[in-house]
Chains A and B, each alone.
Chain A
Amino acid sequence: MRGGGHEFEPGLAGNPGGPARGQPSNEERRARLTPGRRPGVEARAALLWVALVAACRQALVEPCPAARLAADRAPLVASTSRFDSAFAAAGAEFHVPPTVLKGIGWVETRWQMVEGAEEFSGRPPAFGVMALRGGALERGAALAGVTVATARRDPVANIRAAAALLDAYAGEAAIDRSRSEQWSGVIVRYSEIELPEGRAAYGRAVDRAPTFAGARSAPAGAAAARAACPPPPDSGGAPDYASAIWRASPNFNQRPADSTGAMHIVIIHTCESNYTSCWSWLVNPASQASAHYVVNEDGSEASQLVLERDRAWHIAALYDCTLNRRHDCWLNGVQSNHFTVGVEHAGFASQDSFPASQIEASAALVCDITRDRGIPRDWQHIVAHGQLQPADRTDPGPHWPWIAYVHRVQALCGEVVVDDSATFNDPALASAAASGAWTASDSTPDYYGGGYRWASTRPDATDGAVFAFQLAAGSSRTLDARWTSGANRSSRAAYAVITAAGDTLAVVRQDQTTGGGRWHTLGTWTFPAGWNRVALLRRDVSGSVVVADAVRVRE
């Protein structure tokens, strides 16, 4: 499942988004990453590397996504290669930073001399450390004053040809060569070579390689430091989800800094293609599209393409709350990529079913996203692309197993939700019952599931709404209640917590005039095995209503 193979550290793989992540000391990193460094050649790189490490160290609140990421980057700037002297000489000759040449060489060939074959019609083969091909090879060779044949086979000539080409690109772009960030555009131009993984690597090099990040800007806090730290392409252990493979896409930008950029909805997609085709296209800058994640057909592999904190490009629609149970209407008209996390799935919206293993892998991923980002696991926050963009999208289609899927996301995150409607409950674990005095409604938004039930308070009422949950063994659980709020609600709605044995553990009062659409903790108790329950009572003085929407049971 691991794609890369270089310097992945299993011991650091756990919980990449969490604060308790393991992280080797900077001393350990330097010791591991700087064998035989040549100060004369690498002085600039070393300075940048120190700046990067310093930036990462400044990120006390939000450390680098994983320390191994910085470690894995290091060969770009800190390891020696047998071509170092050629990088240095060509860099000096053509006024191109040797680190740029060395970085491109690493991304392209891992510093190997290659002789490419024509992989398919129309794509010329690549040659040499710098993987020059086609017109770029011809132009670079001419500029360097060598023949194409020599530039193909001789490493020094190959590197000089690449340097000459970059020199020409830099001249045409009129960049300030002393400013490392200005080389980004030149490298992007070099990346026009059709090599998807190489393109992705270039995107990363442009945006994040330590070669540039350290000098790009004075690190402005944790965000800047974190932006400098993600891993190289194709390594195992994606920055936000350790069991995914990191295949960086250049197709992203920053989320807005204001409240419209706060991520709080996960969008479920289908690729309309197979897995490899899906991610390899989405890491190609030509696609102008991406997603944060892609899950493969059988769930045995997932790729992360864009950091969760960045704005991936997976949905064209502007947000319309009427398509989402009138949730968060203040976001109407906001571009939906701003505040969403996109999860693609290999397959088609038209398929009749989805493999259980794919659903399971996706649910585990979405559990992780929602847990790390504080996103509620409900029907307003885990939604279909086609739901928010019905004009021209249907994915993931009518056969995505929504109810079971959301239940699985919840279960993997240690929770069961009991809705007032059986439609949204797993009958093996959750059940609700209410008398005819309880009226079903969906007129106030931000309910769980398809709506809620309400009833008027009465002094003599005995028919509470009951939310029951099954436990296989006696254990402790925390219960939360949810309602839709309004001025006519009871300010002291009574929730009775009753065990499977019939013992009432507590009666907890909640003010339902406010706080609608959110979970409110009732308390934590130890329950026996069997069907335990929470009853929302309506026995009270007349004149208000109580709202039974859902109860959440969590470990």
Chain B
Amino acid sequence: MPRPALSLPLALLVLGACQRDEPGQRAPLSRSAASAGAARLVPPGSQDTGFAGTTSAVHRPRPGVPPRILRAVDAKVNPGYDRVTFEFTGDSLPGYHVEYTSGPVRRCGSGDPVVVAGAGRLVVRLVPAQAHDERGNAMFTERDRTLSLPAVKDMKLVCDFEGQVEWVLGVAAPGPYRVSELAGPARLVLDVRHGR
């Protein structure tokens, strides 16, 4: 029975691709095919562009879990907001802390100050996490990215040291954002609303 054996993984791949790329999903921790399918049904152009979001800190600690490996970061513009997706190996997310900062941002090893574009600096701290493998190789090469999206202008990896990964996003203005968690693969999704 080769055909079913092949088609199931294919279907999962397609589903996974939809899950990954579909903008504007609202379902946190959408682990089931049903929730992924529901998200897939949202037609383009009718996205949730008016989400309230927050400008306050979002804090979700997960102490005591093994470090998660950040393997990819993606940023895209969507109707009404920019979406930054942090994708991890495996099925679990690390803890995270997201917050606009008014203080200087420094590289966690050298202490060198880091400058980003825009009027807002949105820090995304992932703990415990690393963006390199066990052999000391970076999981991706683009660690300073110029995005020039409507809200998110650039993003820089300022820390990948001692189990802490930290990005700082240069945001046009410190507007509302929301954070959601997705599974299969584990992703942390950050939506930053476009300015009015």
List the A residue with the shortest CB-CB distance to B129.
Answer: A272
A residues 246-303 with Cβ under 8 Å of B? 251, 253, 269-274, 276-277, 279-284, 286-290
Contact among B63, B110, B135 with A313 in the assembled complex (CB-CB below 8 Å): B110
CA distance A314 to B137 in the complex (A): 19
**Interface 9-residue window, one of A63-71, A234-242, A315-323, A494-502:** A315-323
A287 to B64, CA, bound (A): 23
Name B residues whose Cβ lies closer than 8 Å to a Cβ of A: 63-64, 67, 106-111, 125, 128, 130, 132-138, 141, 143, 159-164
Contact A317 B111 (CB under 8 A): yes
Q: When chains A and B are docked, how far (Å) is the Cα of A318 from the Cα of B136?
A: 27
**Given A196-B136, A280-B136, A284-B137, are A273 and B130 also a contact pair (CB < 8 Å)?**
yes
Known: A273-B130, A281-B132. A287 touches B137 (CB 8 A): no
Q: Say whether B67 contacts A284, CB under 8 Å.
A: no
Chain A residues contacting B133 (CB-CB under 8 Å) are 120, 277
In the bound complex, residues from chain A placing their C-beta under 8 Å from that of B162 are 269-272, 289, 385, 393, 395
In whole angstroms, what is the CA distance A420 to B52 when docked?
Answer: 59
Q: A interface vs B, CB < 8 Å?
A: 119-120, 123, 194, 196, 251, 253, 269-274, 276-277, 279-284, 286-290, 313-318, 335-337, 348, 350, 385, 392-393, 395
Query: Mostly helix, strand, loop or mixed at chain A's interface?
Result: loop
Q: Tally inter-chain residue pairs, CB-CB below 8 A.
A: 101
Q: Are B136's CB and A281's CB within 8 A?
A: yes
Q: Judge whether B137 and A290 touch: CB under 8 Å.
A: no
| A-B CB contact pairs (8 Å), 15 listed | A119-B135, A120-B133, A194-B138, A251-B109, A272-B130, A273-B163, A281-B132, A287-B109, A289-B159, A316-B108, A316-B109, A316-B111, A335-B111, A337-B111, A350-B64
Kindly name the residue among B132, B136, B138, B164 whose own CB sees the greatest number of chain A CB atoms within 10 A.
B136
The answer to whether A288 and B107 touch across the interface, beta carbons within 8 angstroms, is yes
Interface centre among B64, B109, B128, B164 (most CB of A within 10 A): B109
Q: Is the CB of B111 within 8 A of A289?
A: no
Chain A residues with CB under 8 Å of B111's CB are 313, 315-318, 335-337
A392 touches B125 (CB 8 A): yes
A253 to B107 alpha-carbon distance, docked (Å): 14
Say yes or no: B106 contacts A316, CB within 8 Å. yes
Give Cα A472 to B80, complex, Å.
77
Of B108, B125, B135, B159, the contact of A196 (CB 8 Å cutoff): B135
A123 and B160 contact, CB distance less than 8 A: no
Q: Give the 3 A-B CB pairs with smallest separation, nearest first.
A: A272-B163, A289-B109, A280-B136
Contact flag A313-B67 (CB < 8 Å), given A269-B162, A272-B162, A284-B137: no
Q: Which residues of A contact B134 (CB under 8 A)?
A: 273-274, 276-277
CA distance A287 to B134 in the complex (A): 13
Give Cα distance in the complex from A269 to B130, angstroms.
16
* Minimal beta-carbon separation of B72 from chain A (angstroms): 11
Looking across the interface, which residue of chain A has its beta carbon closest to that of B63?
A: A350
Residue numbers in B under 8 Å from A318 (CB-CB): 111
Query: Are B110 and A284 neighbours in the complex by a CB distance under 8 Å?
Result: no
Supply 5 further A-B pairs (C-beta < 8 A) apart from A277-B134, A288-B161: A123-B137, A284-B138, A288-B160, A289-B108, A318-B111
Q: Closest CB-CB distance, A370 to chain B, in whole Å?
A: 23
CB <8 Å contact, A284 and B107:
no
Given the interface pairs A281-B132, A395-B162, the reply to whether A289 lies near B138 with Cβ below 8 Å is: no
* Set of chain A residues within 8 Å of B106, measured between Cβ atoms: 316
B106 nearest in chain A by CB position: A316
Do residues B164 and A287 form an inter-chain contact, with CB atoms below 8 A? no
